[in-house]
A and B are shown apart, each in its own frame.
Chain A
Amino acid sequence: MMQIKPILSALRRHKAGTVLIALQIALTLAIVCNALYIIHERLAHIAEPTGVDEPNLFAMANLWGEQYTKQQAAAKIEQDLITLRQLPSVADATPTNGYPLRGGGWDNFITMKPDQVDKTTDAAVYAGDEHFLRTFGLKLIAGRDFNADEVRDMGLREAVTPPVTIVSKTLADRLYPKGDALGKSFYSMSSTPITIIGIVDTLHRQDVSTWSAPYKGQSLIWPLRLAQPMGVFYVVRAKPGQLADAMREAPKALYAENRMRMFPAKDGLVDYRQIRQEAFERDRGMAILMGVICVVLLAITAAGIIGLTSFWVGQRRRQIGVRRALGATHRDILHYFLTENLLISVGGVAIGTVLAFALNLWLKQNFALESLPLIYVLSGMVILILLGQGAVFAPALRASRVPPIEATRPA
């Protein structure tokens, strides 16, 4: 084991350099482990399952070209669905108010009692008919699907509260933690109870932003068809391998049937690859930016350590020569510099840990970030100590090659 005392007294003569390296390691640790954690959070968000059959689905934002009444809109939708379902490449189609990851969307407060003021929780609301589950490919794990006669039309600004609903498992467990939600009821901005007739495994919300994070995966489906003047979304499930065909044929068939409609240029016709792309644009951007910053930061810190240590080695050639002349081996000199760096790194890492948690606390207060798990700080520590040792290795090796004859030369 190397003697630490002489190293410490040598460092005392290089206070500024020592402090600078330690500070750089500390700051790097603070940034890197927070950045890594942000990357992890964002990637986890991106990886959230939607519960739907993404590879075979696409959505059409069908806006009406004329102001339809409720009855007219309902009849048009009926006709459109027949057209869509008849297409050879289409497995099924459903009219709805949105789809998972669309962003924004309809959400309702949920309460357990009709007169309850504070909400129990919040759920994303999907309006779907008896084809909704089949089209989306949702997995019904308890209860039953809607019957065709349960589905009602919902006109302009009609607050309809259907008596039955199918909920996601996450919502069912949130409302009835014992797992006995089926057949039970709740309230949602209305004085009439809603009975849970079915539970689906996973159904992501429409929204992907931070505000809805506490209600992640809490969705409910109401047997409703939006017969509104503005329009409706059609979600279409293509037969396996025929997505491109279906996406080409569907708008064409609908236009042929009734040309007074529009599919907006932006998001008018999208498959799930594009939906995911848009929903997680910001998350992916953050992850990339943080990744780039981490890599460059570590490279710069390593370069800084190499630079300063090389300088120290150059400055101490004579002293190294003396030690070599007095019997120190190559290995002793190598160890000296490695140990010196280890001491500085440990100091830096210790300060860095405090800084990392301070930065995390600040991010938490301002940006709704979660607490930094210890594992990130620990791995950050290991990374930085290894980085320091790796960076110092080349100059240290050079130092160990200083010949004893240097002792006799003037510095």
Chain B
Amino acid sequence: MFAYYLQLGLRSLRRNPMLTTLMVMAIGFGVAASMITYSVFRAVSDDPIPNKSSQLFVPQVDGWGPQQNDNGEIPGALNYVDAMALMRAHKASRQTLIYPVMLSALGRDADSVPTSASGYAVTGDFFPMFEVPFLYGSGWNADEDDHRAADVVLTQEFNQRMFGGANSVGKEIQFGGNTYRIVGITKHWNPAPRFYAVWGEDGFSEAPDFYVLLNRMLDLHIDSSGRNSCRGNLTFTGWDQWLQSNCIWLMPWVELDTSSEVAQYRQFLTSYATDQQHAGRFGWPANVRLLDVMAFLTQQNVVPPESRISLIVALCFFVICLVNTIGLLLAKFMRRAGEIGVRRALGATRREIYTQYLLEAASVGIAGGLLGLLLTAVGMSAVTLLFDAEIAQLAHMDLSLIALTLLLAILATVAAAFYPAWRAAQVQPAWQLKSN
């Protein structure tokens, strides 16, 4: 019966090519617009580290106070004094501190021209905390952090550029005129958004080139190449005074595995801030926050507003296409009232009519879905016109998107057919037969 109805449906679609084309196009365009914008939205709002995002936290301490912070919002990064205090207290199983640096890199060839390399100054816990995958070697441990070792971890991409992809662990490399020992090479790893450094960055840049020991960078007075934000009168006249200022530029992360650890850490943050108030450093009561990865990404507004607006507009567009489809299906079905009357008079139940017309709609949905798929594929290649290159390259068509496209098209069309099919099933056989 199912196959027969589908056949009937297809035949009826062919009988009325203009209406059918209209419906298929409406569904196709609607689905494609939604899917293209959704694929971008999905890429930018995804959990970048799904198996650990609920164990990684950003501790935030308000070092600016209610008069100078952003309308009560705690600043998204830490100043040097607070960052170092949290690190020294070491109240989490793992913890790291991050800031972006840009250095000149020189290969072995002494005559070569330096190339600019961007990376992050981090502590040893960075690698196990964020489960950074290694191709060769490994990160460094807390001992080396304390000994301010000249260790560096290169990324696969940068190792390719500088050493042609060979295992360069143990080799030396020049950064900013100083020699560093390569201890590890990471596999390609560039979470999108780059949650660990999203403050002051857009979160979707190309993979960094290296990770270098934070204490070493501080010793050498290597400036942050990222954002630095200060409040009040600026009185520092050099590096050391700047470190003591209220300028925020360091990104702290802690790993807390259980909810009791989270509660304890929160308590620790509050008592730390309260101590600072008592010591006279803060002129305000404790204002602290402990955010996990997704909460932090939300706070930092990582999803570009353009991505959200375009998804919403595309969905509205799809709804209009569906309203359009309801109208066209209604017209199509009711035009065949006579036919329905005959079938009903010959013994077809309302239910059978209803099923038949829903199936007819489903075949429209399938056709619309296929067109939608085609348009989505075309649209994907044009995504670079609509969004930044970094974001556009994240959007891709995969199996789940293809399935979602077809499913959405079919379900939406069938849902749109509920009312027209119901009207068709309500046709009174006697009426139709009489007027004929």
- Interface pair A300/B29, CB less than 8 Å apart: yes
Q: A27-B323, A230-B225, A259-B113 are in contact. Are A286 and B26 (CB under 8 A)?
A: no
**Given A67-B176, A230-B223, A281-B387, 9 other A-B contacts at CB below 8 A?**
A16-B330, A16-B419, A20-B326, A67-B177, A158-B237, A262-B104, A296-B317, A300-B320, A308-B331
Say yes or no: B385 contacts A288, CB within 8 Å: yes
Q: Within the assembled complex, what's the spacing in Å between the Cα atoms of A304 and B238?
A: 69
**Minimum C-beta distance from B65 to chain A (A):** 10
Say whether A96 faces chain B, with CB atoms less than 8 Å apart: no
- Residues B335 and A314 in contact, CB atoms below 8 Å apart: yes
Contacts of B327 in A (CB 8 A): 17, 20-21, 24, 304, 307-308
Q: Mark A297-327, 1 if CB is under 8 A from B, else 0.
A: 1001101100110111011000000000000
Is B308's beta carbon under 8 Å from chain A?
Answer: yes
**B239 interface contact, C-beta 8 A:** yes
| Interface range on chain A (Cβ under 8 Å from partner) | 35 or more
Complex Cα spacing A35 to B114, Å: 48
Determine the main DSSP class of B at the interface with A: helix
Residue B402 lies at the interface, judged by CB distance under 8 Å to chain A: no
- Residues of chain B within 8 A of A296, CB atoms compared: 29, 33, 317
Q: Which B residue's beta carbon lies closest to that of A367?
A: B305
Q: Which chain A residue lies CB-closest to B32?
A: A296
Residues of B within 8 A of A259 (CB): 113
User: Judging by beta carbons under 8 Å apart, are A17 and B106 in contact?
Assistant: no
Contact A189 B104 (CB under 8 A): no
Residues of B within 8 A of A21 (CB): 327
List of B residues within 8 angstroms of A368 by Cβ: 305
Q: A16-B423, A67-B177, A262-B104 are in contact. Are A24 and B436 (CB under 8 A)?
A: no
User: Which residues on B sit within 8 Å (CB–CB) of A118?
Assistant: 67
Given contacts A63-B102, A65-B104, A296-B29, contact A262 B237 (CB under 8 A): no
**B235 close to chain A: CB less than 8 A:** yes
**Chain A 18-34 interface mask (CB, 8 Å, partner B; 1/0):** 00110110011011001
**Could you give 20 example pairs across A and B, Cβ below 8 Å?**
A31-B320, A34-B313, A156-B221, A157-B223, A159-B235, A159-B236, A210-B305, A229-B222, A281-B388, A293-B33, A293-B313, A297-B320, A300-B25, A300-B26, A301-B324, A304-B26, A304-B323, A307-B22, A310-B331, A367-B305
Total contacting residues, chain B, CB less than 8 A:
69
Instruction: Tell me if A285 and B386 are in contact (CB < 8 A).
Output: yes
Interface string of B296-326 (1 = CB under 8 A from A): 0000000011101110011011011101101
B29, closest chain A residue (CB): A296
Given contacts A155-B238, A157-B238, contact A304 B328 (CB under 8 A): yes
Interface string of A159-187 (1 = CB under 8 A from B): 10100000000000000000000000000
> Which residue on A lies nearest to B305, using beta carbons?
A367
Give complex CA distance A285, B390 in Å: 13
B421 to nearest A CB, angstroms? 13
State the Cβ distance, A29 to closest chain B Cβ, in Å.
Answer: 10
| A63-B116, A262-B115 known; A311-B22 Cβ under 8 A | no
Q: B310–A289 contact, CB under 8 A?
A: yes
Contact of B26 among A17, A261, A264, A303 (CB under 8 A): A303
CB neighbours of B314 from chain A (8 A): 293
Within 8 A of A (CB), among B220-236: 220-223, 225, 227, 230, 232-236
